[in-house]
Amino acid sequence: MRLLLDAHLSHRFIATPLRSHGHDVMSLQEEPALDGLRDDEVLALATSERRIVVTRNSRDFAPLARTWMEAGRDHGGCILIWSYRHDEYADIVTGVERLLARMPRQQDWRNLVLSI
């Protein structure tokens, strides 16, 4: 699965395990040129790259995804992390993996927003 980890998610403790499970993970932490992107730019980047956004910034991404939907704009999907602190790495990875197992085809994530 193609994922984009938002800047506040650890590339070392989240991206690396997801990659070891076979996912194609782009981590904003690992991309200095992408530092400081606004949320709408992150969603646009993920959309252009055909990736699912994974973020703890649920308070901003939930309404952003709704705004895109209301405007008729497609996106590649979002996984919103509500339940875990930023340092609960194993739980975040497990939660993401669980959602991806439920929806294992990239195209099924189009415009979908799910949370863990």
Those residues of the chain that have pLDDT short of 70 are none
- Predicted confidence at residue 87, as pLDDT, reads 84
> Around 83, how many Cα atoms within 13 Å sit in the side-chain half-sphere?
11
Predicted confidence at residue 21, as pLDDT, reads 96
Residue 44, φ and ψ in degrees, nearest 5: -65, -40
Is this prediction's pTM over 0.85? yes
Identify the pLDDT of residue 43. Answer: 98
pLDDT attached to residue 56: 95
**Buried residues in 52-76 as b, exposed as e (16+ CB within 10 A):** bbbbbbbebbbebbeebeeeeeebb
pLDDT at 24: 98
Class of domain 2-115: alpha beta
Instruction: Enumerate the domain spans of the chain.
Output: 2-115
Task: Quote the pLDDT of residue 14.
Answer: 97
H or E element at residue 114: strand 113-115
CA-CA distance, 35 to 66, in Å (whole number)? 24
